Amino acid sequence: MGTTASDAIVLLAHGARDPDWARPFEAIKARIESRLPHARVALAFLELMPPPLDVAVEALVEDGARTVHVVPVFMAQGGHVKRDVPLILDALRARHPDVTIVLTPAAGEAESVTAAIADWVTGLVRVPPA
């Protein structure tokens, strides 16, 4: 995904009651911002935490975004990503027909993500040979 100055990225997570739960997503956001300093990056949540997806996208559009990449930071394409998110994005597209809103696959479905998790687990847990 190449980005330009008119691009924005929304990292979409589920949300939780405990504010500490968002720390890994904030760290991901900070890493992206350091690698793509010209792109605007926002966090959004489906439940329990602000901002909700529609509010985050609206703020980016008001700030001049012409393409918004919505990246579900989920392990798989479950009900939220398959059903709920497309409905929200369809409503946003109707309000902003001049803005391109792209829904990417869930992050956990990327081979590089599953490989990184497997590498981390195998480095963390030492299992003796049988």
Instruction: List active site positions.
Output: 14
d(CA 38, CA 67): 13
d(CA 97, CA 73): 25
Cis before 50 (ω within 30)? no
Residue 88 contacts residue 54 (beta carbons within 8 Å): yes
